[in-house]
Structure 1
């Protein structure tokens, strides 16, 4: 009997993936207002978001190992912790409860995001997995869009509790849906995951990190992640000297993420079908470098919209493409391998954001640095053509 893909599991996962990003970025657009309401500095409000990448770097591998050993319980734990984090923020109207909730949700994030390859591998047939990874990854970016929209609607100090309540409701409903749709093992679940020859610790990690292709993908992930995080963090400050207002910069970033959602949902599917993964990575990194150069030499509203939207459209789809390669390559160690990719990406985001932050008063230099970082990765992306072709030939009957 031919087993059929179970798409409701992908829907449930997508909702929880969006929820993690919603909690992460709730205060990104209302930093000043939130600081005034809770009586803390703007940098303290910034830490409500910064705890996520910091803890991700620490927890990516342990969470990947948990997913490889106990996939459904670990994923459900991530969904529940995300909902609990959102609810904890409602206990008291002060910064301490906000931070406690953010820490809970940040612990949950790697359990959810690392699972994107595992959920598709267990609930979708092989031909549907690239689409599932693209949809799951696009939902993560869609959660960013929801966060930006909420912060654009609830802009006053008095409206922040309403924003937090809506976020908590969304997170609880998302967790409930996921728990329901993954209550049974997927039709493509490994026959005896508890008896796997892979040990739940060093075996999976050794399998993932011992693969040369996975190591190369981890190194490559540092660069696009780094540029995207730095651009998202400092675009407003870097464009301000060119007369771009804060509101306009926020709109540019929103359009950037929307373009990334659309690109992540569509481009990887087409690329995988045409066996053009390496080509897309080269094109996206090159286009990103050119866009950053454009911003360096001619910053402004129009160039900001064009360049940053192009970056979102072409750079963000690199993530699902890399994760799809990981899913095809690693088998039982997919959670750990995905964790390595996410960890490398978050590490790249932290490093590049720090470097660009030091140059925030020198926009031209900052944009040129981001262009150089994107260009550095182009040879690595081009060199993937042969190992990807070999991987494709190995997976064909």
Structure 2
């Protein structure tokens, strides 16, 4: 029997991690002026999340495999603690301290998306659970953008932080209540440390997991690079910063909708490989159009389409991981998130070097999905092998 309350609680906490992460993305200049620091310093309030994720993803996955409920709850509590610490005083140091605490929590929460569905949902409901759990993570990004639009001034920054902290508290309480029961699939606890790290060896030894890790690099990379540099890349084509913000918001909203619906359809029709091929090819075409014929309307259509088609690749890959693994799903999911975040850092860095050459930047973004196409195409043969 499926316990959907656990998925609801997890979804809220997942959204909370993204809300804390991106709280200042839409009010960077205002926040920098208010706290008397540079915009670069405010940017680091967000950058610490992917940087620490790369370092902590695998250790957090191992913790989830060993102590799933305590580790997940620790992630929720640390997210809330980070949000509350930011209210400690009207000084940049409090913001940075809170962000560092919450960034440690993020891999504990995000790596748990396959584990919580495996423990609290019946097998037929797990693709839906992973799709909804992942969509809620992207919904947290939308919520962050909306809050920055509702509270855009220096005088309202404190109110925005209070609202964020309240959301985190409610999400943590609801998750804690839902996790009172261990779930119908709770792997046996193994006390030997070598057995814990055996999960990492087992996950990486699976050729399908390695292939999925490689595939995760490219969708994440394109999405993070576009989210970071779309505004300056589109500015020479006459796209204003306000319009670029709207385009990026629509990109994430489309991704939320796609992530909630498309992976369920793909799982039911065993169409994961054809879908990934289609999404990657469409992303390449969209980036080529932006390279050679950029305009406001073309950017609106193509970047929204990229969000709709590309973001569902993550829950599709995570569902394949959950289907493939048993007691090491936290570690395997950690490898996927690690690969995706590493791809995001690398792609954003490369595009950042080309930020004053938009055509070259968009051509690079068009090339990244092409690299992943052969792996996505041959994925169907890997999926034909026994999974459990």
Question: TM range, normalised to the smaller chain?
Answer: over 0.9
State the alpha-carbon separation in 2 of the partners of residues 134 and 215 from structure 1. Answer: 21
Q: 2:290 aligned to 280, 286, 295, which one?
A: 295
Structure 1: stretches of 5+ with no match in the other structure:
none
Show CA shifts across 1:240-285 (max 9, x none): 1111111100000000000000000000000110000011111111
* TM-score (ref. length: structure 1): 0.96
Q: 1:210 deviation in Å?
A: 1.0
State the alpha-carbon separation in 1 of the partners of residues 31 and 302 from structure 2. Answer: 30
Asked if structure 2 preserves the Cα contact closer than 8 Å seen for 1:120 and 1:132, the reply is yes
Q: 1:233 aligned to 220, 228, 233, which one?
A: 228
2:39 maps to: 42
Tell me the secondary structure at the aligned position of residue 332 of structure 1.
coil
Asked if structure 2 preserves the Cα contact closer than 8 Å seen for 1:125 and 1:188, the reply is no
Q: 1:224 aligned to 219, 223, 235, which one?
A: 219
For the aligned residue pairs, the C-alpha RMSD in angstroms reads 1.1
Q: 1:243 aligned to 238, 242, 249, which one?
A: 238
State the alpha-carbon separation in 1 of the partners of residues 53 and 195 from structure 2. Answer: 19
Q: 1:335 aligned to 326, 330, 333, which one?
A: 330
Distance 1:130 1:196, change over 3 A: farther
Whether 1:257 and 2:252 are equivalent positions in the alignment is yes
Asked if structure 2 preserves the Cα contact closer than 8 Å seen for 1:65 and 1:200, the reply is no
State the alpha-carbon separation in 2 of the partners of residues 125 and 199 from structure 1. Answer: 30
Summarize the alignment of residues 225-374 of structure 1 with structure 2, pairs less than 5 Å apart.
225-374=220-369
Tell me the secondary structure at the aligned position of residue 294 of structure 2.
coil
Distance 1:199 1:334, change over 3 A: farther
Q: 1:200 deviation in Å?
A: 5.0
Tell me the secondary structure at the aligned position of residue 87 of structure 1.
helix
2:7 maps to: 10
1:108 maps to: 105
Q: 1:184 deviation in Å?
A: 1.5
2:163 maps to: 166
State the alpha-carbon separation in 1 of the partners of residues 91 and 240 from structure 2. Answer: 30
Whether 1:152 and 2:165 are equivalent positions in the alignment is no
2:18 maps to: 21
Q: 2:125 aligned to 128, 132, 140, which one?
A: 128
Structure 2: stretches of 5+ with no match in the other structure:
none
1:387 maps to: 382
Q: 1:366 deviation in Å?
A: 0.3
Q: 1:316 deviation in Å?
A: 0.3
Q: 1:140 aligned to 137, 142, 147, which one?
A: 137
2:57 maps to: 60
Tell me the secondary structure at the aligned position of residue 90 of structure 1.
coil
Show CA shifts across 1:166-202 (max 9, x none): 0000001100000000011002223xx2138894532
Asked if structure 2 preserves the Cα contact closer than 8 Å seen for 1:68 and 1:200, the reply is no
